[in-house]
Amino acid sequence: MDAFLSCPDHSPAAGRSLAPARSAPASSPALISAVQDLYEFICSGPLVDRIGYSREKIAESIDRWLWCGSQVSRLFRLDELRLSDAEKSRIYHFYIPVFLWCEDQVAEHRSKYNQGSEIPPLVIGVSAPQGSGKTTLVFALDYLFRVSGRNSATLSIDDFYLTAAEQGKLRESNPGNALLEFRGNAGSHDLQFSVETLESLIKLTKEGMKMKLPRYDKSAFGGRGDRADPSVWPEVEGPTEVVLFEGWMLGFKPLPNEVVKAVDPQLEVVNKNLYAYYDAWDRFIESWIVIKIKEPNCVFQWRLQAEVAMRADGKAGMSDEEVMDFVSRYLPAYHAYLPTLYKEGPNGAKKDHLLVIDIDEERTPITGS
């Protein structure tokens, strides 16, 4: 289902910043009927209650929903008048409700400061398993922020992986541990570098202030990866109002040693490494989006679908066996840490600043427990 909204990692948002425009008046019975049908469809979405929207509030803000729908359709080169059911659901039941929730979070954050103050950006953490659609969600949110006139920046925990040389040292110091043989699990990130980057980014509060955001090249060294050359890092300019920080293991909490050993003995060192991650990342995040999946094995199916699609397009893709080997290095962490994340939320997360989105095997939002 994600294929029609696929995008490259960290694709730049297109277009200039635009002020939201009111939709055209419903001047014909056909148009009135179409807007009414869309209104009913929006109201039936599984996230409207979670973002605090009643039918009345949706009716009052319908122009905003229509404008956002038009923008997202433009972003993904879709005909907003001829959306398929899947496309309409993804836009009006997923991307727009999440964006409006984020907008409310940013507005509340900025209201705490006096007029004329230098306001640090709100950091919104997006924690979601691989293949669940978080990169495309962040891509859409970043675009909507920008065309709404808010300066935003995006980061992934992938951007802070150790360099190729440092990864080699990590492998050598953990011989036989498949979970640390490649990048991914706790211990394979440059935490000091990530802290320096996040601290600099939240200080980007004035016009003219600029900085480059690190990026990671997963194709380097035959797929083992390396930090991309700074010459290709994107530049962001202040004042920045919102930072979207995404990652598959954001918000994971270390557990008692006997718990992780029961899942996989190799997790013991990963769990020990995880203690440093709260100070490095979670403390910067004020608002959280957590995408909740039913079963970690969905990750294997989603990755397999992506690789099959790549091979069908004539691109180099992993074999089924290689996909299983790749995903198997993440599954122990999912099995160990997701139950606690879903039950307790991320470290320091407050109820009013946490949006949990249940999705099904098709990566479609559903009504959760």
Q: Does 298 reside within a domain?
A: yes
Poorest-pLDDT segment among 19-28, 83-92, 125-134: 19-28
Q: Does 57 reside within a domain?
A: no
Q: Residue 177's domain is classified under what CATH number?
A: 3.40.50.300
Q: Which domain holds residue 292?
A: 117-359
pLDDT at 315: 66
pLDDT at 16: 30
Q: Which tokens belong to 337? A: 């840490």
CB within 8 Å of 276: residues ≥ 6 apart: 191
Q: Does 198 reside within a domain?
A: yes
| Domains in the chain, number | 1
Task: Provide the whole-model pTM.
Answer: 0.89
Q: Which tokens belong to 111? A: 């209201």
Distance of CA 18 to the CA centre of its chain: 23
pLDDT at 111: 95
> What is the mean predicted confidence (pLDDT) over 73-95?
95
pLDDT at 352: 94
Cα–Cα–Cα angle for 89, 143, 303, rounded to 5 degrees: 60
Cis before 339 (ω within 30): no
Q: Chain-wide mean pLDDT for the chain?
A: 88
User: Binning pLDDT at 50, 70 and 90, where does residue 115 land?
Assistant: confident
pLDDT digits (tens, 9 = 90+) for 248-297: 999 999 999 999 999 999 999 999 999 999 889 999 999 999 999 998 98
Tell me: pLDDT of 37 over 80: yes
Q: How far apart are the first and last CA of the chain?
A: 23
Q: Which tokens belong to 320? A: 């089924």
Q: Does 45 reside within a domain?
A: no
Q: Does 91 reside within a domain?
A: no
Distance of CA 12 to the CA centre of its chain: 15
Q: Does 100 reside within a domain?
A: no
pLDDT at 17: 34
Q: Does 40 reside within a domain?
A: no
Phi, psi of 316 (to 5 degrees): -70, 125
Tell me: pLDDT of 79 over 90: yes
Q: Does 99 reside within a domain?
A: no
Instruction: Please provide the DSSP assignment of 93-110 as one string.
Output: IIIHHHHHHHHHHHHHHH
pLDDT at 7: 43
Tell me: pLDDT of 120 over 70: yes
pLDDT digits (tens, 9 = 90+) for 123-175: 999 999 998 999 999 999 999 999 999 999 999 999 999 999 999 999 999 99
CA atoms of 12 and 10, how far apart (whole Å): 6
Q: Which tokens belong to 230? A: 């700074």
Contact 246, 156 (CB under 8 A): yes
